[in-house]
Amino acid sequence: MLNKIVKIHAFNSDQLLPMTWWLIVLLCLIGIYGLIMWLYYLLQERFLFVATTLQLKHTFELASPFEEIFLEGEDGGTIHALHIKSKESKGLILYFHGNTGNLQRWARVAEELTTYDHDVIVVDYRGFGKSHGRRTQELMYADAQRIYEYALKHVSELELVVYGRSLGSGLAVKVAADNDPSKLVLETPYLNMIDVAFYHFPFLPVRFLLRFPFRSDKFIAEVDCPIWIFHGTRDRIVPYSSGLKLYELINEHVEHNMITIPRGRHSNLSNFPLFRDKMNEFLAQ
Q: Give the residues across from 82 on adjacent strands.
A: 68, 122
Using one digit for the tens of pLDDT, what is the confidence trace for 134-145?
A: 999 999 999 999
Q: Provide the pLDDT for residue 131.
A: 98
What are the structural domain ranges in the chain? Answer: 1-48, 50-284
What is d(CA 270, CA 285) in angstroms, rounded to the nearest whole number? 20
Using one digit for the tens of pLDDT, what is the confidence trace for 58-95?
A: 999 999 999 999 999 999 999 999 999 999 899 999 99
For 50-284, the fitting CATH number among 1.10.490.130, 3.40.50.1820, 3.40.50.300, 2.30.30.100 is 3.40.50.1820
Q: Provide the pLDDT for residue 46.
A: 87
Contact present, 141 and 218 (Cβ < 8 Å):
no
Q: Provide the pLDDT for residue 83.
A: 98
First to last CA, the chain: 98
Q: Give the residues across from 260 on adjacent strands.
A: 231
User: What's this model's pTM, rounded to 2 decimal places?
Assistant: 0.90
Q: Provide the pLDDT for residue 2.
A: 41
Contact present, 188 and 266 (Cβ < 8 Å):
yes
Q: Provide the pLDDT for residue 8.
A: 45
What is d(CA 178, CA 181) in angstroms, rounded to the nearest whole number? 9
What is d(CA 166, CA 105) in angstroms, rounded to the nearest whole number? 15
User: Helix axis angle, 193-200 relative to 240-247, nearest 10°?
Assistant: 160
Residues of the chain with pLDDT under 70: 1-19
